[in-house]
Amino acid sequence: MPETTDPEERRRRRALLRAHHPDLGGDPSEFLRVMAELEGRARRAGPRPADDVRFVRRPRGLARIAAWFHRRRRPRRVV
């Protein structure tokens, strides 16, 4: 089940699961029904868009040493 980014939706989902979880005194069949409903709702919402994939070419051989040397000579960034 994909996690939601909305804090309020996440709070509601966790409260439902906590209320019906068999380890916490809930009914197992009710817990399974709630889980199926939440999974169905997540499927209807569709997949979340993925972050952009970034490929970084790492220097090899002497280029690695040269890159290290150039990085070393740059002034440090202040964040």
Per-residue pLDDT of the chain (79 residues; tens, 9 = 90+): 555 668 888 898 899 889 999 998 888 999 999 888 888 876 766 666 777 778 888 888 999 999 889 888 888 777 7
pTM of the entire structure?
A: 0.46
CA dihedral 29, 9, 23, 39 (to 10 degrees): 40
If one counts every other C-beta atom within 10 angstroms of the C-beta of residue 67, the result is 13
pLDDT reported for residue 3: 58
Distance CA(10)–CA(27), nearest Å, equals 22
pLDDT reported for residue 62: 93
Residue spans of the domains in the chain: they are 7-73
